Amino acid sequence: MPAPSASRLEHARRDIARTSRHVLINGMSPLPRLWPRLLSVLLLCLAPAVRGQAPAPEPLWPSGAPGAMGTEAKDTPTLTRYAPAAGAANGASMLVLPGGGYGHLSESEGKGYAEWLASRGVTAYVLKYRLGSAGYRHPAMLNDAARALRTLRARARAEGLDPARVGVIGSSAGGHLASTLLTHFDAGAPDAADLIERESSRPDLGVLCYPVISLGRFTHAGSKKNLLGDNPPEDLVRLLSNELQVTAQTPPTFVWHTAADQAVPVENALLFASALRAAGVPFELHIYENGKHGLGLPSNGRGAPAWDEACLAWLKGRGFLGAPAPAK
């Protein structure tokens, strides 16, 4: 609903002024006749404020996260839901994993992506996962992401959305976490007392934006340290170098990066795409010549390429946004 125009507010002011005169002149008030109009204007005034309220984050584990080292905000992973407008949901859900080197979480890669997806009919959830800067190490981050994916799938069933259209999008270190979820999932525990834990943690597809993929030669040193600490064992480094963990069961993936990225080398995207190709997994890869790290959406004015439109076309083609595009 649009904000009230100046003319409508002026009409309301005049109505109130006339009401005051009538009370003085006639000894009676015509307020009952004017209430519907005044109420309409009041609601118009309030609508922008109501619409601007931020969604409330919900604890991922209501009774506390496994392995939590305290009860502060940094110890409490949360999900924040961004719903499409009434009647606009297309049945798809997306888990949003912001970047930040496993040391902080980028708002533009969290809330920004979620609002973009919601505007396209996708019910989006931003995960605030535990971080290395708060003393956490693997597998806390993966545990949070897996629990979140299960939660989205359970909610899709409960809310009449499609539990077979639950994806994940991640950027930078969030891209590493997303690629970890794409390669380290499980089918769930069918006999678990917690119904959420019965759900699969396998995303139905993934979107990786300038992702950290490898923890080897082409890694981002800060992300690796925050995730694994100093001097991690080589077998753990290999386990979480996700270009080495792709199988035929890895979900279809959209990947984009820039060749000019000086923080996270483009080889990360190339290595993952090559592994997807070798395993026979459907993928789409976009490498743009220019652009620094952390560009996010084109709408934020940082010079990002039009990856969002390419991504939406890919999602539509796979049937994620509704009916798949006809075969050519």
- Residue partners of 119: CB distance under 8 A and separation at least 6: 84
Rounded CA gap, 17 and 276, in Å?
71
- Residue 176 falls in which region: left (phi positive, over 0), alpha (psi -120 to 50) or beta: alpha
Element (H, E) at 111: helix 111-119
pLDDT, residue 322, reads 81
Q: Per-block average pLDDT, block size 10, for the chain (328 residues)?
A: 40 43 41 38 34 80 96 98 96 98 96 97 98 98 98 97 98 98 98 97 98 97 98 98 98 98 98 98 98 95 95 98 58
Q: Taking the domains of the chain in order of start, what are their residue ranges?
A: 6-51, 60-317
CATH class, domain 60-317, is alpha beta
Closest by alpha carbon to 60, among 169, 158, 140?
Answer: 140
Rounded CA gap, 2 and 37, in Å?
17
pLDDT, residue 306, reads 97
For residue 188, CA distances in Å to 147, 191, 199 come to 10, 9, 5
pLDDT, residue 323, reads 55
Closest by alpha carbon to 176, among 267, 254, 244, 241?
Answer: 241
pLDDT, residue 54, reads 73
pLDDT, residue 146, reads 98
Closest by alpha carbon to 140, among 191, 65, 84, 210?
Answer: 65
- Report the 10 Å Cβ neighbour count for 246: 25
